[in-house]
Chains A and B, each alone.
Chain A
Amino acid sequence: MKSRSRRQLRLTLRYLAIALVLIVFLFPVYWLFMISFKTPDEIFSSPPKWWPGQIQFGNYAVLFKDGDVIAIWNSITVSFASTAIAMTLGTLCAYALARFKTGGENLAMWIISQRMMPPIAIVFPLFLIYVWAGLVDTHAGLILLYTAFNLPYVIWMMRGYIEDIPLELEESALVDGCSRWQVFWRVVVPMARSGLMATAVFTFIFAWNDFLFALVMTRTEVITFPVQLTHYMGGQSNFWGKIAAMSVLGSLPVMLTVAFMQRYLVRGISLGAVKG
């Protein structure tokens, strides 16, 4: 009896600790969402109001009215396009690395080291080239950049997923009359389906969340949402409603995908080191 009540107590304490942790970590997110629903009067009240008087979408309406949501649209197109290209080229390259040992271990190491270079070290050189090539502030320029930036990740992750596919399946297809190209599309791609999905989601998120490249390479035409967000901050005049609303719009897609991709989260963010 005694040990049972003690276990009960421990469980209660654990739940309490977990609740405390969640409050601490989620309160800023709550605050962000709440501000986006507040009226300016409620936002700028001191002491701050802990919940909105009423849910209203004025801050979002302003973004749409001013046409600022174009930044979200830019983020969507650029992220989608670069993800699609990086996944196609990257998966093919990963297949070569996994099954044909193309370039040996050195090529694989070079590729992953590309991923680890700090963007700031390559963004200035790239900027010089982009100016010369007229790629600054173009969709093509940003898409190329995100493709290149995410390729090492895609190659690294997909190599791991492809190595998990039993070799016999591919050999059986070869004997059954497939060319290598057919093996890739009819066996490798369907077998790596879930890995492809997970990697694509993370590739998308990386492009979606990027700030530095977009800051440097865009001016007016392809401003993405993080850049747009920084435009609302300046000295004394903070457009808090806009900041909050834009942040929420820019975070919802990522939050939703992660909720559905939980199974692949660990492997995705650890560069495949933890199979999870």
Chain B
Amino acid sequence: MAGLTITGLHKRYGGFHALKGIDLTIQDGSFAVFVGPSGCGKSTLLRSIAGLEDVDEGKIAIGGEDVTDLRPRDRDIAMVFQNYALYPYLTVFENIAFGLRSRKFPETEIRRRVGEAAEILGITALLDRLPRHLSGGQRQRVAIGRAIVRQAKLFLFDEPLSNLDAKLRDEMRGEIKRLHKEIGKTMVYVTHDQVEAMTLADRIMLLRDGRIEQEGAPLDLFERPSTGFVASFLGSPTINLIPGRLVTRSGRSAVVLDTGESLDLPAQRAKLDDGERPILLGIRPQYLTRAAGTLAAGHARIEANADLIQPTGTRTFVTSHIGGVAVTAELAAHDVDNSEGRIAYALDMARAILIDPSTDKVI
């Protein structure tokens, strides 16, 4: 009903090409997240959907209706801004009612809807206050309240949590996810924080330099990135990228690191034709474990010094030098002792990601 379709969208600011042909479809009722580093065009894309930016080329359709040339007010959308955008001269009640008053709703309807929204967000007690007397989290709730009273077709969120401290951010993230379940509207969310993207999204669109680098379900992107960029953007701590060469001899493939160690790939990941090429071996920290006794299938063994051991309580991060670069392993809390020098790792080569360093594409 109220899905979002964008075709061939271009946006230029003078000589700067901010969006270079965006095509995407977001299903009705789903939660889509635009994620990417700053300057990738995600905010511009969101603002184009809202109608706050005029686009140079392409079409935007909400619920099947072409809105490309409509003003923001005619698009039936609601938006939550990064700095909350609360009107400091209006009470919380009037802030939430602002959009309803613009659309000339009757007073009783305004009272009913604002009351409901305040109830959902637990800010009923604050309705008579001015924004400057609210905490950051409360302000964020009011901003969300202002969006939901309108019962718009489409909800847009522009990095709404980036001004909150870590604890509040976790809390509000849960709240937004719950809200989406409750009201079931299509939501589009912009963030530069990959954790937010992973936890909130039904579908992630990862942007880079004005293009969609890859889109899909969060775990799809995490496990099957199409490029090295996607692989290193998602996941925390970031994926380890170790330079080496992919060597295939008579149906068996192995990664030979620059420092000489050879790591066998499991048979199902072997390449067909013989030869060798430079690659980056991508391996996430959780796929480096301690090698104990015989190796499990598909694992390769490598020894290295533990340069830095950082226990966090739940997990312990160990940094070693492998293949000439610093590599992080995420081990169970008691897997490693502070005094240990040399550690034998088991690398889960079935989960390894092989990247062509010249094209950044995953092989």
Chain A residues with a Cβ under 8 A of chain B: 166, 168-169, 171-179, 182, 186-187, 190-191, 193
A145 to chain B, nearest CB (A): 35
Contacts of A175 in B (CB 8 A): 50-52, 72-73, 75, 77-79, 156
Contact A171 B85 (CB under 8 A): yes
B85 to chain A, nearest CB (A): 4
Contacts of A166 in B (CB 8 A): 83, 85
| CB neighbors of A among B84-111 (8 A) | 85, 87-89, 98-99, 102-103
Contacts of B146 in A (CB 8 A): 172, 176
Q: How many A-B residue pairs have CB under 8 A?
A: 62
A-B contact sample (15 more), CB < 8 A, given A168-B82, A176-B73, A176-B99 = A166-B83, A171-B72, A171-B81, A173-B102, A174-B52, A174-B72, A175-B72, A175-B79, A175-B156, A176-B98, A177-B73, A186-B98, A187-B87, A191-B87, A191-B88
Nearest 3 pairs of A and B residues by beta carbon: A176-B99, A177-B102, A172-B85
Contact A169 B85 (CB under 8 A): yes
Contact B99 A177 (CB under 8 A): yes
Task: Verify if B71 is at the interface (C-beta below 8 Å from A).
Answer: yes
Contact with A along B146-158 (1 / 0, CB 8 A): 1000100000100
Contacts of B75 in A (CB 8 A): 175
Most chain B CB inside 10 Å of its own CB: which residue of A166, A171, A179: A171
Contacts of B79 in A (CB 8 A): 171-172, 175
Contact B89 A179 (CB under 8 A): no
Q: How far is the CA of A193 from the CA of B47 in the complex (A)?
A: 28
CB nearest neighbor in B for A174: B72
Contacts of B77 in A (CB 8 A): 175
CB nearest neighbor in A for B156: A175
Contact B102 A178 (CB under 8 A): yes
A contact face: mostly helix, strand, loop, or mixed:
helix
CB nearest neighbor in B for A177: B102
CB nearest neighbor in A for B52: A171
Given A169-B85, A193-B89: A176 touches B71 (CB 8 Å cut-off): no
Contacts of B102 in A (CB 8 A): 173, 176-178, 182, 186
* Contact residue among B47, B88, B98 (Cβ-Cβ distance under 8 Å from A173): B98
B237 to chain A, nearest CB (A): 33
Q: How far is the CA of A186 from the CA of B100 in the complex (A)?
A: 13
Given A172-B79, A176-B150: A191 touches B89 (CB 8 Å cut-off): yes
Q: How far is the CA of A178 from the CA of B103 in the complex (A)?
A: 8
Q: What would 29 A/B residue contacts be, using CB atoms closer than 8 Å?
A: A166-B85, A168-B82, A171-B47, A171-B52, A171-B72, A171-B79, A171-B81, A172-B79, A172-B146, A173-B98, A174-B72, A174-B73, A175-B50, A175-B51, A175-B52, A175-B72, A175-B75, A175-B77, A175-B156, A176-B73, A176-B150, A177-B73, A177-B99, A177-B102, A177-B103, A178-B73, A178-B102, A186-B98, A191-B87
Given A171-B52, A193-B89: A179 touches B83 (CB 8 Å cut-off): no
Contact B83 A168 (CB under 8 A): yes
B67 to chain A, nearest CB (A): 12
Contact B73 A179 (CB under 8 A): yes
Q: How far is the CA of A176 from the CA of B146 in the complex (A)?
A: 9
B190 to chain A, nearest CB (A): 14
Q: How far is the CA of A190 from the CA of B51 in the complex (A)?
A: 24
Contacts of B52 in A (CB 8 A): 171, 174-175
CB nearest neighbor in A for B77: A175
CB nearest neighbor in A for B81: A168
A164 to chain B, nearest CB (A): 13
Contacts of A176 in B (CB 8 A): 73, 78, 98-99, 102, 146, 150
A2 to chain B, nearest CB (A): 48
A260 to chain B, nearest CB (A): 20
Q: How far is the CA of A115 from the CA of B50 in the complex (A)?
A: 40
Q: How far is the CA of A49 from the CA of B77 in the complex (A)?
A: 76
Contact with A along B47-85 (1 / 0, CB 8 A): 100111000000000000000000111010111011101
Contact A172 B73 (CB under 8 A): no
Q: How far is the CA of A16 from the CA of B102 in the complex (A)?
A: 60
Contacts of A187 in B (CB 8 A): 87
Contacts of A190 in B (CB 8 A): 87, 89
CB nearest neighbor in A for B146: A176
Q: How far is the CA of A166 from the CA of B84 in the complex (A)?
A: 11
CB nearest neighbor in B for A168: B85
Contacts of B98 in A (CB 8 A): 173, 176, 186
Contacts of A172 in B (CB 8 A): 79, 81, 85, 146
CB nearest neighbor in B for A178: B102
Q: How far is the CA of A166 from the CA of B163 in the complex (A)?
A: 16
CB nearest neighbor in B for A172: B85
A17 to chain B, nearest CB (A): 41
A24 to chain B, nearest CB (A): 44
A192 to chain B, nearest CB (A): 11
Q: How far is the CA of A86 from the CA of B248 in the complex (A)?
A: 81
A177 to chain B, nearest CB (A): 4
Q: How far is the CA of A190 from the CA of B47 in the complex (A)?
A: 25
B102 to chain A, nearest CB (A): 4
Contacts of B83 in A (CB 8 A): 166, 168
B195 to chain A, nearest CB (A): 24
CB nearest neighbor in B for A166: B83
Contact with A along B101-138 (1 / 0, CB 8 A): 01100000000000000000000000000000000000
Most chain A CB inside 10 Å of its own CB: which residue of B79, B83, B102: B102
CB nearest neighbor in A for B158: A168
Q: How far is the CA of A193 from the CA of B89 in the complex (A)?
A: 10
Contacts of B89 in A (CB 8 A): 190-191, 193
Q: How far is the CA of A140 from the CA of B87 in the complex (A)?
A: 39
